[in-house]
Chains A and B, each alone.
Chain A
Amino acid sequence: MIRQHPLLQPYTPSSDEPFDEVKAAHLLNRAGFGGRPDEIERVMKLGPQDAVDWLMDFPDAPADEESKTDQPDLSPVEGYPKNFRELREKLANKTPEERKALQQMLMQANREALVQVVGWWMKRMASGPFPLQEKLTLFWHGHFTTSAKDERAALLMWQQNELLRRQSAGNFREFVRQISRDPAMLDYLNNQQNKKAHPNENYARELMELFTLGIGNYTEDDIKQAARALTGWGHDGQDFVFRRFDHDDGEKQFMGRRGNFEGDDVIDIILENKACAPYIAGKLFRSFAYDVPEDGVVESLGAQLRDAKWELRPVLRTILTSKAFYQPRAVGVQIKSPIQLVVGTVRLLDLEFPQPQRLANPLNLMGQVPMMPPNVKGWPGGRMWINTSTLFVRYNTAVFLAGGAMPDSGDRLGKSFFGGKFKGPSQDRGDITGNFRPKNAAGSADELVDQWVGRLIQRPIDDEKKSVLREALGDDPNAASVRKMIQLIVSTPDYQLC
């Protein structure tokens, strides 16, 4: 039994370290996508413990169980075949030209549906009822990665997204079992092709290398044996199927044990490996608090995860209420992911969420398109988000959201990250947030600077920068000059951090 690390004990406010606006905003940034003044005030009133309880008070359920009306618009794929069997039937007795035409229509419809799913999800992040659940869904999407490229079905991507949401704070063992049966995952990592006669090792490898243990905690032979246990796990285009005749039920030697292991046995044995719990708990800590935790923090959290029989909520609660989480080194040290930047800007400026295809190209150029991770490792994050090129795109996109011009993205503007053309105004270069009028443009110039820096950056900035913003407002601030100042605030290095 490892004793809890002192830095993981609960932070309790004191007169020296009060739970102030900066700390409340910090919690809302990390456990969500940023808080508006009313939300910050609410969190301050609740205090650090109750605020976390409030944020964690979401059902372990998919969005469409939370609300029957909250679903992506999937009309683009309406009427198309639902699974491989129907597809085969539809393609039978067709000429090659007819088949090709149908496949192209399907592909186009699927791409449109994908954009709807991505847009629906981002809108949920910005204005859904449970920001922490969406933040966790995004975290797990970067962990149990699946990409929509290769024309993966939008419906399967959405179904997986709902699985990530349902399990986001649930039981990790159950999570691994379910994701290992998820059709989009089985497809992405080729377990669909993993058969007794010809094993495909791709899923088995990533299951250990990226999803549970980290590299160096298994052998090449363990991968081969795990792949055998997972043979026959596939999908029919719609649901998980277990193909008995493709399954290898023979004896396997896996991580020093011998037996006729099945897929779930392999998962259980992996979770018994002592590397697993710290790997998962540490990744959560780094994502929600900061990189490079102090010695012993990860081990302590790992022990808690094992003791809690792989329930994720207690570990999350520990992280979000800990002394570590509120240390000065933790506040404002995280570089916002492109999704955090975009969704946060929409939230903090109280904007209507733009049409998803309008954001596709900027998100692509910033390096983070939801459902299109660069590879199975997900997004590396941290300083990896920033280079001379992405920094320009980040500034330009934030300025655009704050009522500025569409960022110059050349001739690719309006084309989708899924490569398709879109109905609707995607070619329109117009100013989607042209209606953005800052609501509070009243007050003295100094008050307005403080107000908007507080609202957007949520931490103090240096006096030199403040005076530049003060200048930008002019002597007689009006809506236009306030908007101009806001565009400058979101073009600061400070705004890139949370």
Chain B
Amino acid sequence: MREGQLGVALFVLLEGRVAIRIGDSVVEKVGPGGLFGEMSLVERTPRLATAVAETDCALLAMSRHMFLHLVKRSPKFGAALLKAVGERAAFMASRRAERSSAEAQPAPGDLRSAAASA
């Protein structure tokens, strides 16, 4: 998926590693069990980042329909997503703040969400 595209699915990474990039900087690495692509799925907004497979990957693609269904059905799924979205949103906000002052460190390790814990 590429920054700016309209998102149609989110991805659960089963195997491999995916780098999430915004512009030229890698902001997050996703490992097995992690998900990405959820940010643009909630309200059908353009992709905020680009995802690049760093290794051969096995992915599970989930449609928006299924995603919405799962969130409404499963509080656990919703809670996990909220955590990931909260971390990513906080990161985006701080990144924006940092960029405004100077080109600070682009990808602090604190964004490692549930995904990166592999």
| A, B co-complexed | no
Interface residues of A (CB under 8 A from B): none
Interface residues of B (CB under 8 A from A): none
